[in-house]
Amino acid sequence: MVKFNSQTSGYIDSSIKSEKNRGRAEKREIFVYDDIYEFDKKWNKVVQYVKVVRTVVSKGKETKSTSYYLSTKKFSAEEYMFRNS
């Protein structure tokens, strides 16, 4: 189990990208955190976690989703954005 503390502490880096393609608008917001404070021993190499918030507007309907990723390497939010495109 991994516990995150994103509700009480701030992110260390962020990036926002908006684009329009094929009649839909998409905005991706990436937030990088390094405040992992409790995890199982099998997760001991995790050094960051990333929160990706996607907002898509298509045909007048807005859809929002949030994903979380664990990383054993340190990257900037821009680097995660490139990997997540």
Q: What's the CATH number where 65 sits?
A: 2.20.130
- Taking phi first (over 0 means left), then psi (-120 to 50 degrees means alpha), and beta for anything else, what does residue 7 get? alpha
pLDDT tens digit string along 13-67?
Answer: 999 999 998 889 999 999 998 877 666 677 778 888 899 999 999 999 999 999 9
Specify if 85 maps to a domain.
no
* Domain contains 81: no
Q: Give the chain's domain count.
A: 1
The two most distant CA atoms of the chain are separated, in Å, by: 46
Whether the Cβ atoms of residue 84 and residue 52 lie closer than 8 Å to each other:
yes
State which amino acid sits at residue 70: L
Predicted confidence at residue 3, as pLDDT, reads 58
